[in-house]
Structure formats: structure tokens, C-alpha cells
């Protein structure tokens, strides 16, 4: 099937246009999309250059491009409207009803989202990321008193990326601790974890999926044996039950889904917003 070119235009990073556009495009999953982000359109020259890039697509004989844009300044938006494409202007549609409801004019200043307008939020994300790194894999600091969450689960169940995502996206302080033979043999969690029981959240995963992931990492040996994996998952489930630890099965979930489910289930507050 023919490929559609999709542009994400922004006077800032383009993250909002990318996120919204991607959500909508996934509703047409049989299609092939070629996606291009054009960020930081903050001069007339850059706006005109973007128009030329978009028009070049259609002039090459390809079908009409789709354009998602999030520019706040009218003058550059007007220029972009000259481009030949289906133009979905996100601020155009939503800013007017929002301003009417709030009884206030928008600032029309670019770069408020995903910018440094809130230095506290930036520092919080960096702090949370450093926390996740220092408390990764049961490591170095075990500074669990200040943790919002401590994720536990077997190796490769998704603990590290989930902690990092929670830190970068939401400023949440998430530590993680791997369950290993020590816990499986005793059937018990170490005392320093039991003391933080209300912060514990489990990640489980289907044996077939874990086998696939581990084999990519280390094809041979006990670590990637079906028998070992089944043993680890069974013992992990016992530990979750024994201590009444809530958990989520990560098998069919993306990092975003795992993170959202954890926050939804625990009620842990987002410290910053994306």
C-alpha cells in the first residue's frame, strides 16, 4: 500500500504533535506512514522552509501529506496553512473553547510545555532519574525511605525501564529490587523490604515471554532455561501472595501501560506532568 507522509510541526519540541498524531494514526493500522518531525519553527524562514518540504512531497507524486501542528503564534501558523496537505492544527481547535471557559486569553507564548518554564519540575525529574539509577537492581544506595515505590520481580520483567519512565515522565521516585535465588529458596523477602511493604509493587510476566526476552540477552544456560524461568515465576507469585503485594502482568503491556497501571493501582501522585 502507498505510503503517507506525516509531518509533526512545532515551534517547540514536537512532542505533543508526535504523541497526538501517533495515537490517531494507530487507528489506521493497515497503513504505512513515513513520519517526520520538524521542531523549533520559530522564524518566518523556518516556517517557509517547512512549507517547501511539505509541498515537495506532493509534487513528487506522492499522496497528500498529513500535517499535525502545535504552533501558538498566528503568523507562522498562517504561513504553514499554505502547505498542500491535510492540516490538523491542534491549538486552533482546542485553544478557543478553553480560553472561553477560563475567561482568559492564552499567552500565545511558545515553549511553555516541555520547556524550562518550570525549573522545579525539571529538577524533580532529574532527581527522580538519579534516584532510579542509584536504586536500580537492588543497587548501591537502597535509599528506600524516600522512595514512592519499590518494584520487585524477576530479572527482565521490566523493572528498570518502568522506574526510569516513571522518573523521567512523572518525577516519581521508583526503586527496584530483583527477586533471585535467595528469595526463592527462603520464600521470604529481606527485612529491609518488608519494612517498606506498603511501597512494594510486583511485576509478573508470562514464562513464554520471559524466555523470549532472556534468550535474546543470553541464549544459553540456566538463566534462559524454560525450567528455571517457570520456577522463578512460580516462586515470585508465592511471594506476592504471601505478603499481599499488588502486581501487574507486564507480558502484553508497554512501558507506558505498566507505569499507568501502577500509578492507578497505588494512587502514587505524579510529581510533574509531561
- State the CB neighbour count (10 A cutoff) for residue 31: 13
> Residue 187: which region, alpha, beta or left (left: phi > 0; alpha: psi -120 to 50)?
left
**Interatomic CA distance for residues 25 and 173, integer angstroms:** 33
Residue found under cell 522518573: 167
Is the CB of 48 or the CB of 188 nearer to a second copy? 48
Q: Residue 210: enclosing H or E segment and its boundaries?
A: helix 207-217
Shortest distance, CB of residue 25 to a second copy, whole angstroms? 8
Shortest distance, CB of residue 10 to a second copy, whole angstroms? 8
Is the CB of 133 or the CB of 142 nearer to a second copy? 133
Shortest distance, CB of residue 153 to a second copy, whole angstroms? 14
- Long-range contacts for 124-129 (Cβ within 8 Å, ≥24 apart)? 124/171, 124/271, 124/272, 125/167, 125/168, 125/171, 125/272, 127/171, 127/173, 128/166, 128/167, 128/168, 128/170, 128/171, 128/172, 128/173, 128/174, 128/271, 129/164, 129/167, 129/168
Is the CB of 35 or the CB of 225 nearer to a second copy? 35
Is the CB of 114 or the CB of 242 nearer to a second copy? 114
Shortest distance, CB of residue 152 to a second copy, whole angstroms? 18
Shortest distance, CB of residue 262 to a second copy, whole angstroms? 11
Shortest distance, CB of residue 110 to a second copy, whole angstroms? 10
Is the CB of 95 or the CB of 196 nearer to a second copy? 95
DSSP string, 69-132: EE---HHHHHHHTTSSSEEEEHHHHHHHHHHHHHTS-----S--TTSTT-HHHHHHHHHHHHHH
Is the CB of 33 or the CB of 231 nearer to a second copy? 33
Amino acid at each position: 500500500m502507498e505510503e503517507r507522509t506525516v509531518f509533526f510541526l512545532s515551534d517547540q519540541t514536537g512532542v505533543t504533535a508526535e504523541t497526538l498524531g501517533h495515537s490517531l494514526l494507530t487507528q489506521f493500522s493497515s497503513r504505512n506512514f513515513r513520519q517526520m518531525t520538524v521542531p523549533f519553527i520559530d522564524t518566518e524562514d523556518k516556517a517557509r522552509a517547512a512549507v517547501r518540504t511539505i509541498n515537495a512531497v506532493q509534487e513528487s507524486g506522492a499522496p497528500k501529506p498529513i500535517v499535525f501542528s502545535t504552533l501558538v503564534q498566528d503568523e507562522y501558523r498562517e504561513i504553514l496553512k499554505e502547505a498542500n496537505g491535510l492540516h490538523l492544527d491542534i491549538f486552533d481547535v482546542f485553544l478557543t473553547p478553553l480560553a472561553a471557559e477560563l475567561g482568559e486569553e492564552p499567552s500565545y507564548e511558545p515553549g511553555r510545555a516541555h520547556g524550562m518554564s518550570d525549573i522545579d519540575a525539571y529538577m524533580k525529574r532529574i532527581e527522580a532519574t538519579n534516584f532510579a539509577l542509584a536504586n536500580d537492581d537492588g543497587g548501591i544506595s537502597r535509599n528506600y525511605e524516600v522512595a514512592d515505590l519499590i518494584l520487585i520481580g524477576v530479572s527482565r520483567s521490566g523493572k528498570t525501564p518502568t522506574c526510569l519512565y516513571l522518573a523521567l515522565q512523572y518525577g516519581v521516585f521508583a526503586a527496584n529490587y530483583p527477586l533471585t535465588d535467595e528469595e526463592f529458596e527462603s520464600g521470604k523477602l529481606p527485612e529491609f523490604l518488608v519494612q517498606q511493604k506498603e511501597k512494594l509493587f510486583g511485576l509478573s510476566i508470562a514464562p513464554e515471554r520471559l524466555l523470549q526476552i532472556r534468550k535474546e540477552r543470553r541464549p544459553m544456560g540456566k538463566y534462559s532455561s524454560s525450567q528455571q524461568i517457570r520456577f522463578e515465576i512460580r516462586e515470585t507469585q508465592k511471594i506476592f501472595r504471601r505478603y499481599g503485594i499488588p502486581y501487574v502482568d507486564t507480558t502484553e503491556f508497554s512501558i507506558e501501560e505498566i507505569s499507568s497501571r501502577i500509578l492507578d493501582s497505588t494512587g502514587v501522585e505524579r510529581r510533574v506532568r509531561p
